[in-house]
Structure 1
Amino acid sequence: MLGVIGDLVEDVIVWVGGPVRHGTDTESRVFRRRGGSGANVASFAADLGPTRFMGCVGADPAGDRVIGDLESERVDVRVVRRGETGTIVVLIDGQGERTMFPNRGASTLLDAVPDEWLSGLSLLHVPAYSFSAEPLGAAVIDAIRRVKDVGGRVSVDASSTGMLTRYGRGRFLDLMAELEPDFLLANSDESAFLGLLVDGVTGTERWRLPSTTVVTKSGPQATIIDVPNQPQDEVEVPAVEEVRDLTGAGDAFAAGFLSGYLRTRDLREAAVLGHASAARVLTSPGASTAGG
């Protein structure tokens, strides 16, 4: 079973109809969706295999809604209820690119992960967002150590350059050196920021760990799989005719990649499944396959 620890929030998606007009109205379409990077991964992965989500959600009607939405997608949901459910406002421009305004709310309040939540997991996935606030950060680090102690695998998603900048590049790399995840997933901007080896993107200094496979996505360009002590492998990305909203595409890729890896133990096949999963969300509002 794949397990995910992270945020479960409400997304307010704004498809902007043109340039934002400061101080007055800008035509738009607005959608409300269940969101949160961790919850997105769990939702997409549940279509591919048994999946569990772990986190904290507000004791409020918004929390009831997002839990119900995630459970309706066949996710095994394990949450603590306290605080107020978070909200992320996401502005989407005409090219599908996102500008996000997060209020994570209760998502950061998880202070412990019970043993029974981790029972039966083959792989634990953690968005790096989960390291950036307490008490969630300490709880997640403890859970990673416990999963690895019993032979489970761990995946970390670099999440965003904004989060990495606030957390600190050196601090994040030190944490990865300490935890040694089996997989580190990143996009090309995050790889460049962290100094990962991706030809034509990073600088001369390379960061790597002996047991961490780095998977770098680059939009429509080939995904690069960098396994320690092996040549880099490139997996081409099939063309997508229309890209309206990039929200959740990275989470969908993570879901397909990790579920594919658990099924096949083949990294190339896992990347192919990741690409197919990501393509499903590119024409829909937010991290969903529901049309706009």
Structure 2
Amino acid sequence: MEVVTFGESMVLFNPDANGPLRYVHHFSKSIAGAESNVAIALARLGHEVGWFSKLGEDEFGRYIQAVIRGEGVDVSKIITDPEKNTGLLFKERFVHVNPNVYYYRKHSAASSISVEDLDLEYIKSAKILHITGITLALSDTARNAVFKAIETAKSNDVLISFDPNIRLKLWGIEEARPVIMEVIKMADILFPGKDEGKLLLGTDDHREIGRGFLDMGCKIVAVKLGKEGCYIASREREDLVAGYIVEKPEDTVGAGDGFAAGFLSGILRNFNLRQSAQLANAVGAMATLVKGDMEGFPTFDQVKKFMGIEIYIDR
């Protein structure tokens, strides 16, 4: 297994019309979840990926499992819980602005994930463990599971990839900051946004963010800058890598997950940091071309055509 990740996925209801939800009567059904987004994006890019979670023993849980399995992701470690429901979310859309998102996830099956639910041998089998701050925020038991997974990975030379993904609807910054900072100290590859740098370090300057997290122990920091691209920093180099302009994005949700997947794909293919960042920028940009959280993630051939270059070859 190249990458293993875990966290909550929910059924997403996307409105078929713009405007307040009280006037919307038809929705398209899909799935949403930062970790499963990354898993799906990596699978489409040609990698062997595993994702697991706890799902309700209900039709929504079965739907999530079927969709993710259908994308070529290993879901053999999923646990179903007959006592709890699968989480849901609804989007509310207005023209050319990011949608409002309404979550119905309290006491969901995934929020009860615990250390006992981890298959440690499965985590040991990976080259990279990808985690996000969302799972840390779900519950105390989920938080303990994340730290146990990190401990297992680090003791078995598995790289730790971490996207802080701070969700203030799930927890306040005073609670979130010390927990996230503790994980950052153990991360090998970090994917903060400028807003998260401001929340955690008190600065939105990408260079200060990169250097600050490197000083905490990270090996690679890729600061997401939206349409401007990204800033990458390691102990050996730093670089500002231009992004790809999308004039009228359909949906920006999932772009950060696509970015993380693209970067990890580059690392797994032994690209240098700049090449990995270029791939990450392209996958993130392509994610915004399609309505939905994961529908826009490209295959490796598609992203090469989008970038208009042929330097990315398997090595």
Counterpart residue number, 1:273: 279
For these two proteins, the number of residue pairs brought into alignment is: 283
The percentage of aligned residue pairs carrying the same residue is 23
Q: Does the 8 A contact of 2:6 with 2:53 survive in 1?
A: yes
Report the Cα offset of residue 206 of structure 1: 4.2
Unaligned runs of 5+ in 2: 298-315
Conserved? CA contact 1:54–1:117, under 8 Å: no
Cα–Cα, structure 1 residues 26 and 160, in superposed 2: closer, same or farther, change >3 Å? farther
Aligned to 1:153: 159
User: Shift of residue 201 of structure 1?
Assistant: 8.9
2:249 corresponds to which residue?
243
Q: Cα–Cα, structure 1 residues 288 and 90, in superposed 2: closer, same or farther, change >3 Å?
A: same
| Aligned-pair CA distance for 1:211 | 3.2
- Within a 5 Å distance, the mapping from 1:1-12 to structure 2 comes to 1-12=2-13
Partners of 1:201 and 1:269 in 2: how far apart? 19
Q: Which residue of 1 aligns with 2:309?
A: none
Q: 2:221 aligns with which of 214, 218, 229?
A: 214
Q: Is the 2:288–2:296 contact (alpha carbons within 8 Å) kept by the matching residues of 1?
A: no
Q: CA deviation at 1:46?
A: 0.4
What is the identity, as a one-letter code, of the residue corresponding to 1:126? I
| Number of the residue aligned with 2:53 | 55
CA contact (8 A) 1:96 1:243 kept: no
Higher strand share: 1
SS in 1 for 2:95: coil
> Which of the pair is proportionally richer in helix?
2
Q: Which runs of 5+ in 1 are unaligned?
A: none
Q: Is the 8 A contact 1:187 1:216 kept in 2?
A: yes
Structure 1 residues 200 and 39, CA, compared in 2 at 3 Å: closer, same or farther? closer
SS in 1 for 2:118: coil
**Normalised TM-score (structure 2):** 0.81
Helix, strand or coil for the counterpart of 1:168?
A: helix
**Equivalence for 2:125:** 120
Call closer, same or farther: CA 1:216–1:92 in 2, change over 3 Å. Answer: farther
Matched, 1:86 2:93: no
C-alpha RMSD of matched pairs (Å): 2.6
Quickly say closer, same or farther: Cα 1:234–1:198, change in 2 above 3 A: farther
- The C-alpha deviation readout for 1:9-48, integer Å capped at 9, x for no partner, is 1112236625x4xxx9545863211111111111111012
Q: Is the 8 A contact 2:184 2:218 kept in 1?
A: no
Q: How do residues 3-22 of structure 1 correspond to structure 2 at under 5 angstroms?
A: 3-14=4-15, 17-18=18-19, 20=20
Three-state SS of the structure 1 residue aligned to 2:134 is: helix
- Output aligned runs, 1:26-41, within 5 Å: 26=23, 30-41=27-38
Q: Return the match for 2:109 from 81, 89, 106.
A: 106
Query: Which amino acid letter does the alignment assign opposite residue 265 of structure 2?
Result: S
For 1:72, the equivalent position in structure 2 comes to 70
TM-score normalised according to structure 1 size = 0.87
